[in-house]
């Protein structure tokens, strides 16, 4: 019988090529989707923004005069297009990631083709690594391009279009930066973990979609606390400072002792009455703790880091589940009992 070749001459199996071949339709669909999204975002940031900006200039020039015409259609078209592009861009990479993770692992385990691969010269660890790495590259590349174009389109409208979304709008916040990419990777890892745990494609997909929504919610909930916020204190006469210019973390009254208390409910009809009531409670001013636009970058990076950390955790968990499923992941490691 043939002797086993020495490790020096080891030729590694070409697994990557076959994962690409096996999922060619999905890859083509994803590439098509990315190209379509890119084209639409270029259209949004270019002609649509310019037309809407013109409309707003006409509108502002009217100065409330009776006879005034402005291109309202262009303004509405921009608004619709922005919403219909931003929402899918915020959600789709996550769906694609969860689907890729759950379907690639769950379906293979369900149909037994995973075992087919392991019975060839492919270790389960390499199998899972390839099945995570390739969709990760595809999702990262496609989503990065879309996020970049979205940021470009959003920036083009900033200050020119009255109804343009603020930077802190939840969907806009994520679609303008790398956090969408990081969240998509977390979704991919969640999907793979669900696929390996449930070993069936459809339940794994359902669970990973719910889990992905949870990850998104968690990231969104923790995001304001991932970077120190600024606190502005103003006199009672002045009112809150910086309201509606960023992400509010906390707001309320400052007392004589410097204590921060929530703003009491005031049902009075005039501001004066309310202020008098606040004074009775020892209030000397307002405070507003928030993230100004300058914090956008740090918040994006810390949120992305959080999502990537979760992705890493889920990936480790997926490998642990795989080890429990198959025993040793690599030859020579792990005992037989």
Partner 1 sequence: MSDTALEATGLGKRFGRRGGWALRDAAFRLPAGRVCALVGPNGAGKSTLLALAAGLLPPTEGRLTVLGGTPAGARARVGFVAQDKPLYPQLTVAETLRMGADLNPERWDAATAEQVVAGGDLDPRSRIRSLSGGQRTRVALALALGKRPELLLLDEPMADLDPLARHELMGTLMAEAAQYGTTIVMSSHVVAELEDSCDHLLLAGSGRIRLAGEIDDLLAAHLRVSGAAESTDLSAHTVVESRVTGRQLTALIRPAGPLPGDLRTSVPSLEELVLAHLRNPGAPALSAAPAVTQGSAA
> With contact defined as beta carbons under 8 Å apart, do 288 and 240 qualify?
yes
> With contact defined as beta carbons under 8 Å apart, do 135 and 128 qualify?
no
Segment near partner 1 (CB under 8 A); pick from 120-128, 175-183, 298-306, 312-320: 120-128
Which C-beta is closer to partner 1: that of 220 or that of 326?
A: 326
Rounded CA gap, 60 and 160, in Å? 11
Judged by CB under 8 A, the residue of 105, 123, 143, 179 near partner 1 is 123
Return phi, psi of residue 262, to 5°: -65, 150
Binding residues for partner 1 restricted to 3-42, rule: CB under 8 A: 4-5, 10-15, 17-18, 21-22, 25
Which C-beta is closer to partner 1: that of 20 or that of 309?
A: 20
> CB of 93: closest distance to partner 1 in angstroms?
25
Segment near partner 1 (CB under 8 A); pick from 55-63, 188-196, 290-298, 327-335: 327-335
What value, to the nearest 5°, has the Cα angle with vertex 89 and ends 83 and 90? 90
Rounded CA gap, 26 and 182, in Å? 21
Q: With binding defined as CB under 8 A, does residue 265 bind partner 1? A: no
Q: With binding defined as CB under 8 A, does residue 225 bind partner 1? A: no
Segment near partner 1 (CB under 8 A); pick from 69-77, 83-91, 112-120, 275-283: 112-120
Judged by CB under 8 A, the residue of 53, 74, 85, 122 near partner 1 is 122
Binding residues for partner 1 restricted to 46-105, rule: CB under 8 A: none
CA dist 264 to 236, 257, 301, Å?
Answer: 14, 17, 36
Rounded CA gap, 145 and 322, in Å? 33
Rounded CA gap, 293 and 249, in Å? 14
Rounded CA gap, 310 and 187, in Å? 9
> CB of 13: closest distance to partner 1 in angstroms?
4
Q: With binding defined as CB under 8 A, does residue 236 bind partner 1? A: no
Count the Cβ atoms, other than its own, within 10 Å of residue 239: 13
> CB of 106: closest distance to partner 1 in angstroms?
14
Count the Cβ atoms, other than its own, within 10 Å of residue 179: 27
3-state secondary structure of 143: helix
Which C-beta is closer to partner 1: that of 123 or that of 180?
A: 123
Rounded CA gap, 10 and 96, in Å? 36
Which C-beta is closer to partner 1: that of 13 or that of 88?
A: 13
Judged by CB under 8 A, the residue of 60, 72, 83, 113 near partner 1 is 113
> CB of 204: closest distance to partner 1 in angstroms?
18
Rounded CA gap, 163 and 154, in Å? 12
Judged by CB under 8 A, the residue of 58, 166, 231, 326 near partner 1 is 326
Extended beta strands in the chain, E state:
230-235, 247-255, 260-261, 283-291
Count of CA atoms in the C-beta half-sphere (13 A) of 59: 15
> CB of 324: closest distance to partner 1 in angstroms?
7
Which C-beta is closer to partner 1: that of 298 or that of 334?
A: 334
Enumerate binding residues for partner 1 (CB under 8 A): 1-2, 4-5, 10-15, 17-18, 21-22, 25, 111-113, 115-123, 324-337
């Amino acid at each position: 019988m043939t002797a086993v070749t020495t490790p020096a001459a080891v030729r590694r199996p070409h697994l990557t090529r076959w994962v690409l071949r096996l999922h060619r339709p999905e890859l083509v669909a994803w590439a098509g989707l990315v190209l379509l999204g890119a084209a639409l975002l270029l259209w949004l940031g270019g002609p649509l923004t310019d037309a809407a900006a013109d409309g707003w200039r006409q509108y502002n020039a009217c100065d409330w005069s009776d006879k005034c015409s402005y291109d309202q259609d262009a303004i509405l078209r921009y608004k619709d297009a922005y919403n219909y592009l931003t929402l899918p861009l915020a959600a789709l990479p996550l769906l694609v990631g969860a689907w890729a993770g759950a379907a690639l692992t769950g379906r293979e385990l369900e149909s037994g083709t995973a075992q087919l691969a392991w019975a060839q010269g492919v270790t389960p660890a390499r199998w899972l690594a390839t099945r995570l790495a390739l969709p990760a590259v595809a999702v990262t590349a496609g989503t990065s391009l879309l996020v970049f174009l979205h940021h470009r389109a959003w920036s083009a409208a900033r200050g020119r279009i009255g109804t343009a979304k603020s930077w802190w709008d939840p969907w806009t916040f994520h679609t303008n930066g790398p956090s969408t990419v990081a969240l998509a990777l977390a979704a991919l890892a969640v999907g793979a973990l669900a696929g390996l745990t449930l070993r069936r494609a459809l339940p794994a997909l359902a669970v990973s979609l719910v889990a992905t929504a949870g990850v998104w919610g968690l990231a969104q909930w923790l995001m304001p606390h991932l970077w120190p916020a600024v606190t502005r204190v103003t006199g009672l006469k002045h009112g809150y400072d910086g309201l509606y210019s960023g992400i509010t973390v906390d707001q309320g009254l400052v007392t004589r002792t410097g204590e921060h208390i929530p703003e009491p409910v005031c049902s009075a009809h005039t501001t004066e009455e309310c202020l008098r009531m606040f004074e009775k409670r020892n209030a000397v001013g307002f405070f507003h703790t928030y993230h100004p636009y300058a914090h956008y970058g740090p918040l994006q990076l810390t949120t992305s880091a959080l999502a990537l950390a979760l992705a890493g955790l889920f990936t480790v968990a997926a490998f642990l589940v795989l080890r429990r499923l198959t025993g040793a992941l690599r030859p020579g490691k792990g005992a037989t009992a």
